[in-house]
Amino acid sequence: MSKRIEHHISQLLDEAEQRGACLASTDPSLRRHLMKRVRQRALIRPFRSLYMRAGTWKQLSLDERALHVLRGLQALHPDWVFCHDSAAIAWGLPLPAERTRAVHVASTTHARGNTPKTLVYHKFADGIPVATANGIRVTPFIETVYDVLARSIFPVGLAVADRALRLCAPTATNASTTARQLKAGLRELGTRHRNARRVAGVMGYASPRSESWAESVARALMIIHGFASPRLQVPFDNPLESGKTFRVDMLVDRADGTNVIIEVDGMLKYEDKRLLQGETSARVLAREQHREAALTLFRMPIVRLSYPDLMDSARFIRKLEAYGVPRSDAAAQAVSELGRSAPGTALGFCLVHISDDVIARQLAQRDARAPRGDSPADELKDTRH
């Protein structure tokens, strides 16, 4: 390969990377040169006619890889509108790894033939609504949320619904939809599309207080398996630094008045450059360890949930029960039945601690109302005779 061609390819790759896209090319001559570098493993080809430096690709998160592919395909097909999971990624909605690989395109006709397995067409018989997210032509935010919730199991759907509400918060960057508009829009779409009950059921449990995909999945599993409803992002005064506070992911109340802290280990905060904010992963991890050490001063059990815990239901249940997180099989059954009969109604349970003072006061009031000779002690005397 001549130096001139080498320089030209490097320049094209630089320009694509600056746009956050894969290099898109349909030129037969250029593609021959690019494929030669793919065989040499200097480049990778994540999608047909798309190319990127292998080293750069390895440094990207799964969502970033998907965005690079979508922007590259948009350059090849300016008229395409991406939908479903592809649109969700463009809007910043979290999806499991296996759902970031396929590309979903809106079409007014039936699915086209001779397409790779990773390219999925969805028919929009009534026309394709269009918006722009992250520089990509996609279906509008509310339509995208509906499409994803309509085809997702509860843990995945709750993570998407939580993030959707968070993106609607007034403090969210570039928030153009309010939570009320989102919920109303989903209800309206439900009158015209399938799986409206599933969408309503997921939204009934959604909360903008959940800060990560892992936290949402953990909460979904707690709901499914009948664990007590947690409070989210609960603040605590830092016992070592006056005037400062920190928050725990979840706090669960037990019947005896004690609490259990649940912390969800999402590796994203140790790997995502945006969340690291210029710090090293080691420094962020060390700060987390100091924070947890301070939490032990509150003398509460601290459950740490990792990704493997979330992927294994039996392991998840054993771990929470071992730490004394309240669980009720009846509550789990009730949640399941309500999901079928009235999916828009959320149901959970919690254990309320009643102090000894309150119990003593109620007993005293009962005894005061009871006629003389009818106290429990008198009944016991009568029984002995």
For residue 103, the cross-strand partners are 119
Residues 197 and 232 occupy one common structural domain:
no
Residues 330 and 372 occupy one common structural domain:
no
Residues 84 and 220 occupy one common structural domain:
no
Burial (0-12, 13-18, 19+ Cβ within 10 Å), 356: exposed
Asked if residue 46 is part of any domain, the answer here is no
- Average pLDDT rounded to a whole number, residues 163-177: 84
Asked if residue 32 is part of any domain, the answer here is no
pLDDT tens, residue by residue, 54-69: 999 999 999 999 999 9
Distances (CA, A) of 69 to 80, 136, 175: 13, 11, 25
Closest CA to 326 of 252, 257, 264: 252
Query: What is the model's pLDDT at position 384?
Result: 35
Asked if residue 136 is part of any domain, the answer here is yes
Count of structural domains within the chain? 3
Asked if residue 49 is part of any domain, the answer here is no
Query: What is the model's pLDDT at position 21?
Result: 97
Tokens representing 32? Answer: 């021959």
- Which range marks the domain in which residue 227 is found? 213-341
Residues 335 and 220 occupy one common structural domain:
yes
- Average pLDDT rounded to a whole number, residues 318-331: 93
Out of 45-59, 209-223, 238-252, which region has the weakest mean confidence (pLDDT)? Answer: 238-252
Asked if residue 22 is part of any domain, the answer here is no
Side-chain half-sphere of 306: how many Cα atoms within 13 Å? 2
Residues 188 and 242 occupy one common structural domain:
no
Helix 141-150 to helix 179-190 angle, to the nearest 10 degrees? 60
Asked if residue 34 is part of any domain, the answer here is no
Return the biggest CA–CA distance within the chain: 113
Closest CA to 137 of 91, 184, 201, 175: 91
Asked if residue 321 is part of any domain, the answer here is yes
Asked if residue 315 is part of any domain, the answer here is yes
For residue 138, the cross-strand partners are 82, 131
Residues 299 and 362 occupy one common structural domain:
no
Residues 198 and 225 occupy one common structural domain:
no
Q: To the nearest whole number, what is the mean pLDDT of the chain?
A: 86
Residues 233 and 170 occupy one common structural domain:
no
Of 183, 205, 227, the one marking the end of a domain is 205
Residues 70 and 192 occupy one common structural domain:
yes
Residues 299 and 380 occupy one common structural domain:
no
Residue type, 351: L
Residues 365 and 325 occupy one common structural domain:
no
Radius of gyration of the chain (CA): 27
Kindly state the percentage of the chain with pLDDT values over 90: 62
pLDDT tens, residue by residue, 226-273: 999 999 999 988 877 787 888 899 999 988 889 999 999 855 444 545
Q: Could you tell me the pTM of the whole model?
A: 0.84
Q: pLDDT-derived band of residue 281, with 50, 70 and 90 as boundaries?
A: low
Query: What is the model's pLDDT at position 311?
Result: 94
